[in-house]
Amino acid sequence: MTKQSNTVTLPSLQRATNAVEKEFIKHGLYTKRLAETPVYLIPASSWIMAEGLYYSGAVHMPQVNILTLGRVLGLSPKPALRETLRHEFGHAMLEHNPELISPKEWKTVFGGAKGESYEYEIDDDDFITDYAQTDTEEDFCETLAAYFRVKGDIDRYSHFEEIYNKMKLIQELPKRIKKMGIRA
């Protein structure tokens, strides 16, 4: 019987990281800099409200967080480690290779500069999740995570023009990564 853990453990994080790296490779989105990005398990701390964080060039995954706590309370399903890692690697990708998406393209696809907050009057249908409505960079990371979740099948979003356009941009990135010679 597998012992169910209510915290993020090192083996579970290692497994999830390997799985997500494979997804990035499979979709042509794995870059040299991503391959060098460390993933740290961090102890219970004030970051308890975050499922994951990206700062100082590394992904940080809190051992105890809002998802694992929710699980203890029966509020949330199994902590979606992979989902969180996909998102955090998105931040890493943007930080390491900002040239992948030009300022002009950010404006066209996301409606603002990279990291720019969204204004009040936005349409839910234009965003993949509530959290994506935070700012344009979170939107990119949430959309990227969803792109992996649906295994690159972006047509299922064809009725949501804005989301579709964001997915379409992500679908373009492998070509650029290859051309720029930054593929891992």
What is the contact surface with Zn ion in residues (CB under 5 A)? Answer: 138, 141
Q: Shortest Cβ distance from residue 87 to Zn ion (Å)?
A: 6
13 or 94: CB nearest Zn ion: 94
Return the number of the residue (23 or 137) whose C-beta is nearest Zn ion.
Answer: 137
- Minimal distance, residue 122 CB to Zn ion, in Å: 18
DSSP H or E stretch at residue 82: helix 81-96
**Residue 93 near residue 29, CB atoms below 8 Å:** yes
10 Å CB burial of residue 129 (0-12, 13-18, 19+) is middle
Residue nearer to Zn ion on the CB measure, 71 or 86: 86
Cα angle 56, 47, 124 (rounded to 5 degrees) comes to 90
Nearest to 93 by CA among 30, 51, 39, 149: 30
Q: How far is the CB of 53 from Zn ion (least distance, A)?
A: 8
Select 57 or 158, whichever has its Cβ closest to Zn ion: 57
Residue 19 CB, nearest distance to Zn ion (Å)? 19
Q: What is the spatial distance between Cα 159 and Cα 173, in angstroms, rounded to a whole number?
A: 22
Edge to edge, what strands does the sheet with 53-55 contain? Answer: 39-42, 58-62, 53-55
Cβ 47 to Zn ion shortest distance, Å: 13
Q: Using CA atoms, how far apart are residues 140 and 87, in angstroms rounded to an integer?
A: 9
42/183 with CB nearer Zn ion:
42
